[in-house]
Amino acid sequence: MNKKKILFHSNHSKAFTGFGKNLKNILIYLQKTGKYEIVEFANGKIKTNPELQALPWKCIGSLPADSESLRKMETDNSFSRDAGYGKFTIDKVIEDEKPDVYLGIEDIWAFKDFNKKQWWEKINTMIWTTLDSLPILKDAEDIAKSTSNFYTWANFAKKSMKDLGHKHVKCLHGCLNTSKFKRLEDKERVKLRESFGIHQDEFVIGFVFRNQIRKSVPNLLEGFKIFQQNNPKLKTKLLLHTSWEEGWDISNLIKEKRIDPSTVLTTYLCEKCKRYEIKPFKNKKSDCRFCGSRESQKTTEPKFGISDRQLNEIYNLMDVYCHPFTSGGQELPIQEAKLCELITLVTNYSCGEDCCTQTSGGLPLSWSEYREPGTQFIKASTHSESIANQLNKVFKMNTSKKRDLEKKSRKFVIENYSIEVIGSKLEKILDKMPKPEWDFDFEYKQKNQDYQPIETDDDFEWIKDIYLNMLNLEVKDNDEGLHHWLSRLDSDLSRDDVLNFFKDAAKKENNKNKKIDLEDALGTDDKGKRILMVMPESLGDVYLCTSLFKSIKKTYPDYNLYFATKPDYFEILDGNPYVYKLLPYSKDLDNLLKMEGFSDHQGYFEICFLPNIGTQKILNYMHNGKDKIQFDLCT
């Protein structure tokens, strides 16, 4: 059976993040169908990480493993961010894996300019992304225009995109394993509270979140304070399951608002025994009362989290769940809380619109608009009074109505966010995609720089013809570049101006990607007295190769050394006394048998050394019966 190969590009499926959890659930579901060949492209993981091999599907890290890139990631934040999103390795992964479908599941900026890549519309591409604020990012609009399978995690984003004219955009929620979260029996809930010294008559308000600035912690603390003041005889606790070492300085906010710190609880997890404890925050490190380890407890974070079973217990300590935020793509803790049959109070903006209705088992929190500096995104400042009022409403709700709303919470998630529902929807989407006909040929296609466009009075057809027959690009009618040139023809440029620009662009591309003719490039030195070393990149690796040159010359004094690399690195080797000639790198140079020759082919080099290739798939060690280079780095 010829299975459809799907390349999933997202947070690593073992990451304690919303994207990571969603991917794990989806991959497990699809793996069980037996219908697909699954490849995971894990953001933020080095491609050689051995942990990636211990999965039931193939997993490739997004980070390059060469020493130069690793050094650059330590000092260049922009490079590090782009590398984490796989921008420097995705093309090679596409070329090697030859997927039928590329499925990107990330924030939209992770895919910036992906839609301009050679392979984008030659295979099935799908974006499943979180858009959380208005106005919608231009990057999202640009990618949506060239992506027929564009899905958002929330209906808020789908509606906003459709309002902008992108009618094909659909909503597909992130999924949850609904069996992991549930309401425990009353006896278990009582016992659980007793284990952490929480009395049965205490009203516990919970919030599970990554401690980011967009999570409205000051608003929640103020709302909690107002609720306490309105109910002075009620014993209340606010349980914040989060890291206290990043984001908001929660301790100082508690002091500032004059809230009794003993009424604010958090989760400590032991690094030694992995058991958790619920108690007021005092210090970053705490002693573990379970295993007795000193200062082994700390609050949770994305790389140091509790299990789903433990998190389920924490939700079951709560009487109500409150999630105020400025914006969000989906906010999985809201759905997890609903599965535990908790009424959820959610800011009525962004993805919160899906989960704050009566039918969803939620109550809306009102908010005021503010603008995020720089981006000018509309963000929500949740009203503290609304938090207090809705908490009061839940507290005073009669038992029958409260249980009805709590049961609706779980039912809503099962029907709209479960693995089974979302997995089935995604399965149907994937099955409708045709097998691509592209041969995954990444070789540069020569531009027709001397092409003369068709004679027509229609500027639209004239420019499209140039794109197609000069640049080898088939652009859509709504392409921004196409409309840019139409606008310039209407305003300040003549057709000759536009044509000359395209001719210059085609010429530059052709020169940049010009294939070398080995016969011409090798010159007139004695054939059979040549050694080739190939190292396409990077700066550090090319430089390290120079340490071998003296040894090569000493071992083979009568041979000329040719070094092939990308032209960007030629200057490193300019004037090197051991290099006879530099060659611009092309893939043909990685073909050892072609370079050294075989029975029906004489070859170009006596010896070819390919230290840039280290796999058995591509020969780099069988030198056609000839002597291998003996390297002595100490000479």
Same domain? For 494 and 539 the reply is: no
Per-residue model confidence (pLDDT) at position 621: 47
User: Residue 613's pLDDT band (boundaries 50, 70, 90)?
Assistant: low
CATH number at residue 352: 3.40.50.2000
The β-bridge relationship of strands 264-270 and 276-280 is: antiparallel
Q: Which of 475, 496, 512 is the last residue of a domain?
A: 512
Which region among 149-163, 440-454, 509-523 has the lowest average model confidence (pLDDT)? Answer: 509-523
Bridge partners, residue 126, by sequence: 103, 149
Other Cβ atoms less than 10 A from the Cβ of 341: the count is 21
Q: Is the dihedral of CA 140, 145, 151, 154 positive or negative?
A: positive
Q: Is 541 inside a domain boundary?
A: yes
- 245 and 106, same domain (yes or no): no
- What letter would DSSP give residue 148? S
**What's the number of CA atoms in the CB half-sphere (13 Å) around residue 264?**
23
Cα–Cα dist 494/332, whole Å = 54
Predicted confidence (pLDDT) per residue in 380-407, tens digit: 999 999 999 999 999 999 999 999 999 9
406 and 549 in a single domain? The answer is: no
Q: Give the domain-ending residue among 490, 512, 534.
A: 512
CB 332 within 8 A of CB 416: no
617 domain residue, yes or no? no
Q: Looking at the domain assignment, is residue 566 inside a domain?
A: yes
Q: Residues 60-103: pLDDT tens digits?
A: 999 998 877 888 899 999 999 999 999 999 999 999 999 999 99
For the chain, give the percent of residues with pLDDT over 90.
76
Question: Per the domain annotation, does 163 fall within a domain?
Answer: yes
**8 A C-beta contact, residue 19 and residue 50:** no
615 band by pLDDT with thresholds 50, 70 and 90: very low
Asked whether residue 441 is domain-assigned, the answer is: no
- Closest by alpha carbon to 99, among 129, 62, 124, 117? 124
Q: What is the pLDDT of residue 304?
A: 86
| Whether residue 327 sits in one domain with residue 282 | yes
Nearest of 176, 167, 165, 150 to residue 429 by alpha carbon: 150
Residues 506 and 544 in one domain: no
Same domain, 346 and 400: yes
> What is the tally of structural domains in the chain?
4
Residue 66: its pLDDT value, please? 80
How would residue 524 be classed by pLDDT, with cut points 50, 70 and 90?
confident
The answer to whether residue 576 scores a pLDDT higher than 80 is yes
DSSP state of 25: H
Average per-residue pLDDT for the chain: 92
To 10 degrees, what angle do helices 155-163 and 138-145 make? Answer: 80
Angle at 328 between CA 134 and CA 375, to 5 degrees: 40
Compute the residue count for the chain: 635
State both tokens at 420.
């089974």
Q: Write the DSSP assignment of 505-542 as a string of letters.
A: HHHHHHHHTPPP-HHHHHTTSPTT-EEEEE----HHHH
Q: How far, CA to CA in Å, does 62 sit from each of 45, 101, 253, 374?
A: 6, 18, 38, 29
Distance CA 16, CA 307 (A): 9
Could you tell me the CATH number of the domain that includes residue 542?
Answer: 3.40.50
Q: Are 279 and 406 part of one and the same domain?
A: yes
Neighbour count for residue 632 (Cβ, 10 Å):
11
Question: Which pLDDT band, with edges at 50, 70 and 90, does 526 fall under?
Answer: low
Same domain, yes or no: 355 and 474 = no
State yes or no: pLDDT of 523 exceeds 80. no
In this structure, the answer to whether residues 478 and 524 fall within a common structural domain is: no
pTM of the model: 0.78
Give the CATH number for residue 92: 3.40.50.11930
Give the per-residue pLDDT at 614: 53
Give the residue numbers spanning the domain of 556: 518-609
Question: Is pLDDT of 634 > 50?
Answer: no
- Tokens of residue 37, six digits: 């060949």
409 lies in the same domain as 531:
no
Of 266-280, 453-467, 500-514, 592-606, give the lowest mean pLDDT range. 592-606
The H or E element that residue 97 is part of is helix 90-97
Q: Do 76 and 117 sit in the same domain of this protein? A: yes
pLDDT digits (tens, 9 = 90+) for 338-364: 999 999 999 999 999 999 999 999 999
- Please check whether residue 614 lies inside any domain of the structure: no
CA distance 112 to 130: 14
Residue 129 lies in a domain: yes
Q: Could you tell me if 41 and 12 lie in one domain?
A: yes
343 occurs within a structural domain: yes
Give the integer Cα–Cα distance in Å for 371 and 377.
5
**pLDDT (mean) for 436-464:** 91
Residues forming beta bridges with residue 125, ordered by sequence position: 102
Residue 107 DSSP one-character state: B
DSSP label of 51: G
